Amino acid sequence: MMFLVKDNSLKSNIDNEFMMFLKGENFTVKENWNSYYGIEWVFVNINAKQYAYGKPGVACGQLVGGHAITIEEFHTIYNIYKKYEGKRLMEM
């Protein structure tokens, strides 16, 4: 499940608040994926708990919804999935 998260804060520093959040949630950088600096988007796979910095003109995988989302929207979606972490498929 790959999300494309876009925000101007992502291009200023690889250790910005969102990246620190991902690292704090035990996300790791996707292997064999070169980083580009100054890019304001990042690919985030919540199933694999991996992220990859954006590359101009290159997709990291198939995107949920086929469109970028904001950091705030990502947090909303991630919190829904995190709520059910460790539960059986139909357990609410």
User: Does the predicted model carry a pTM greater than 0.75?
Assistant: yes
56-71 confidence digits (pLDDT tens): 766 667 788 889 999 9
**Per-residue pLDDT, 60:** 66
1-25 confidence digits (pLDDT tens): 799 999 999 887 667 899 999 999 9
DSSP string, 24-66: HTT-EEPTT----TT--EEEEETTTTEEEE-BTTB-SSPBGGG
- pLDDT surpassing 70 at residue 34: no
